[in-house]
């Protein structure tokens, strides 16, 4: 960013309407939030007593939040005709104007469209500045064609001065000249006095009898008003000046000096002396601190960019894990294959790939041939709960493979991504397979698991460094495949949690827990492993707890949430596990 750009004021937001390019550039050089717009383009029509639709496709955009509106009402050269088509069908109500002047000044249509917006800008503390010019009013009405003729309509004020209600109530008379004098001694009057020489007025202003009280700023030689301001509740809301010779210089001083004095809330950067924070004026220590802040911000941005890069790399490397929970078809099969390989299976055969190459119809998706029995794996992603056919298809494919390979030791495994369109914890994970289906699976040595089960095994294996030998045997089970590694021994469920005492309790239902062992508490997704540093039974410190003991343990230091009913497992010390295994 250039020095000039960095010193541009961000407030207020301005709307410039029909200003000459050189004037626009002067404003944009000092102000950073500027919207450029066009009121319209007057165009020639055949001079008759008839009516014609008013066409104006110069729609404003981005102006609704502006605080300062500056418009030049100078009548431009008329174009040869309208740009674009009629806005509505002939039989629909539209704006029509009489052709008796030989041209249509369509700028008033913008006012009809946007008056409410500009009235709101004024109502909320904004200000409108106008370079005045005379614009003869059109005889206009809103009407339509009916039964082949123009229907009677409602009168409409088609005039550029209808841009805001405050301006609309002024009576504009056609007059012109160059002799003007200031009748106001305020800062606005003094500024105007500097710019009246060599300038011209092209209309005079008269105030209608309304609640608005306009204050004249300058008059012509006949004491007719040519410049005025309007205040509401002692606040400047509108300023009308003649066609000044140097509009750019006038606006530059108006916006940087006079209006900030009148409306300090609209010009916070100038009104509060923001220039004191420019480098040439800044306090030395403040400048040092700002430089340090810039350095820290740059380092933070660099660190964030590096983290974003790591996040993207992690997603690219491990994003497939989410496919276990969201996908179906080949994407799900590929994710399951990668998961099975990662948890420790060495011979995972992609049957789909083999049969596709042989141009054979697809059957089972994968086979696990690490040991006997061979597992024939059927994988499905479905929107609801699995049907009997979904779950038992692996049995059919296992039977076919057993016959083809002449190997009686073949077992089916169904992995189903059920209710895949909703988050996993909102699915029916407790009983995704019907009880009757579990009975059939038990009788036929069929393994059943959800892809969420496989996901849990995988992420916990990564987190707690489970050995492959503690995980791969799980998939050879019948009925519902467990997600609990073989080295975990169930001891009971959480009976109570006492945060103030930093403890939770378990009524031991099975086995023995010793100080020095570890516990694993099963959460909705992850297990939480924690060392057994102490045990209390009946509020007495003990070295071990056995069946029926009401044992208390310290809460995990990780802050993991422990709730009543969670399953708890013991992980015995390696030498005890080895003794037990032998």
User: Looking at residue 1, what is its pLDDT?
Assistant: 38
* Partners of 551 in beta bridges: 506, 537
User: Looking at residue 3, what is its pLDDT?
Assistant: 43
- Token look-up 């109530």 returns 169
Other Cβ atoms closer than 10 A to 119: 17
155, 143, 158: which is closest to 105 by C-alpha?
A: 158
User: Looking at residue 420, what is its pLDDT?
Assistant: 92
pLDDT tens-place string over residues 519-569: 999 999 999 999 999 999 998 999 999 999 999 999 998 888 999 999 999
Query: What is d(CA 462, CA 427) in angstroms, rounded to the nearest whole number?
Result: 24
Query: What is d(CA 527, CA 27) in angstroms, rounded to the nearest whole number?
Result: 64
Q: Please, what is the average pLDDT of the chain?
A: 91
- Token look-up 């992609």 returns 350
Whether 493 contacts 544, CB under 8 Å:
no
* The pair of three-digit structure tokens given for residue 335, joined into one six-digit string: 């994710």
CA angle 323, 421, 413 (to 5 degrees): 55
Query: What is d(CA 251, CA 259) in angstroms, rounded to the nearest whole number?
Result: 10
> What is the DSSP secondary-structure string of 68-116?
EEEEE-PPPPPBSS-SS--SS-TTS-EEEEE-TTSEE-THHHHHHHHHH
* pLDDT class of 5 with cuts at 50, 70, 90: very low
Average pLDDT of span 126-140: 96
User: Looking at residue 272, what is its pLDDT?
Assistant: 60
Cα Rg, the chain, nearest whole Å = 41
Residues 6+ positions from 285 with CB-CB distance below 8 Å:
none
- Whether omega before 12 lies within 30 degrees of 0, making that bond cis, reads yes
Q: Reply yes or no on whether the pLDDT at 274 is more than 70.
A: no
Query: What is d(CA 427, CA 325) in angstroms, rounded to the nearest whole number?
Result: 11
- Give the up-direction half-sphere exposure of residue 494: CA atoms within 13 A in the CB hemisphere: 21
Whether 375 contacts 475, CB under 8 Å:
yes
pTM over 0.75: no
Query: What is d(CA 241, CA 254) in angstroms, rounded to the nearest whole number?
Result: 12
Pure H helices in 385-531: 388-405, 435-443, 451-464
pLDDT tens-place string over residues 180-215: 999 999 999 999 999 999 999 999 999 876 677 899
Whether 158 contacts 180, CB under 8 Å:
no
**Higher-confidence position of 338 and 361:** 338
* The pair of three-digit structure tokens given for residue 253, joined into one six-digit string: 């001083």
Query: What is d(CA 376, CA 365) in angstroms, rounded to the nearest whole number?
Result: 8
């Amino acid at each position: 960013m250039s020095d000039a750009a960095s010193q541009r004021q961000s407030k207020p937001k301005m709307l410039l309407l029909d200003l000459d390019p050189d004037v626009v550039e002067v404003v944009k050089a000092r102000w950073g939030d500027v919207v450029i717009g066009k009121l319209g383009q007057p165009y020639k029509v055949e001079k008759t007593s008839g009516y014609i639709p008013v066409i104006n496709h110069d729609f404003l955009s981005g102006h609704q939040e502006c605080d300062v509106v500056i418009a030049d009402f100078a009548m431009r050269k008329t174009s040869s005709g309208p740009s674009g088509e009629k806005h509505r069908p002939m039989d629909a109500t539209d704006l029509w104007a009489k052709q008796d002047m030989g041209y249509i000044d369509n700028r008033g249509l913008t006012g009809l469209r946007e008056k409410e917006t500009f009235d709101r800008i004024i109502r909320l503390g904004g200000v409108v500045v106008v370079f005045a010019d005379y614009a003869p009013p059109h005889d206009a009405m809103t009407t339509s064609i009916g039964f082949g003729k123009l229907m009677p309509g409602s009168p409409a004020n088609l005039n550029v001065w209808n841009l805001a209600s405050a301006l609309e109530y002024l009576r504009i008379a056609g007059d012109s000249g160059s002799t003007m004098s200031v009748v106001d001694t305020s800062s606005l009057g003094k500024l105007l006095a500097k710019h009246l020489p060599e300038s011209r007025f092209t209309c005079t202003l008269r105030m209608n009898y309304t609640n608005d009280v306009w204050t004249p700023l300058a008059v012509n030689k006949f004491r007719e008003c040519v410049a005025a301001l309007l205040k509401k509740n002692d606040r400047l809301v509108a300023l009308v000046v003649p066609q000044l010779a140097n509009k750019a210089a006038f606006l530059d001083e108006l916006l940087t000096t006079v209006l900030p004095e009148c409306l300090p809330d609209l010009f916070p950067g100038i009104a509060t002396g923001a220039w004191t924070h420019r480098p040439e004026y800044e306090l030395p220590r403040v400048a040092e601190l700002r430089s340090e802040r810039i350095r820290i911000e740059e380092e933070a941005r660099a660190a964030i960019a590096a983290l974003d890069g790591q996040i993207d790399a992690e997603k690219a490397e491990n994003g497939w894990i989410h496919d276990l929970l969201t996908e179906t078809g080949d994407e799900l099969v590929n994710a399951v294959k990668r998961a099975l390989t990662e948890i420790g299976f060495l011979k995972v055969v992609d049957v789909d790939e083999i049969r596709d190459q042989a141009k054979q119809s697809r059957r089972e998706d994968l086979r696990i041939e690490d040991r006997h029995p061979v597992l024939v794996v059927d994988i499905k992603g479905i929107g609801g709960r699995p049907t009997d056919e979904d779950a038992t298809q692996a049995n059919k494919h296992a039977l076919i493979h057993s016959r083809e390979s002449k190997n009686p030791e073949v077992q089916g495994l169904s992995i189903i991504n059920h209710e895949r369109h909703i988050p996993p914890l909102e699915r029916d994970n407790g009983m995704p397979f019907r009880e009757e289906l579990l009975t059939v699976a038990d009788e036929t040595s069929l393994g059943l698991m959800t892809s969420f089960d496989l996901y849990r095994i995988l992420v916990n294996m990564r987190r707690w460094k489970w050995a492959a030998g503690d995980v791969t045997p799980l998939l050879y089970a019948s009925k519902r495949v467990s997600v609990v590694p073989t080295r975990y021994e169930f001891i009971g469920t959480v009976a109570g949690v006492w945060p103030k005492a930093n403890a939770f309790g378990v009524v031991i239902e099975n086995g023995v827990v010793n100080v020095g062992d570890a516990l694993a508490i099963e959460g909705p997704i992850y297990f939480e492993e924690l060392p057994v540093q102490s045990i209390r039974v009946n509020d007495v410190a003990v070295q071990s707890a056995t069946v029926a003991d009401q044992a208390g343990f310290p809460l995990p230091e990780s802050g993991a949430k422990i709730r009543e009913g969670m399953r708890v497992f013991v992980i015995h010390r390696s030498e005890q596990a080895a003794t037990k295994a032998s």
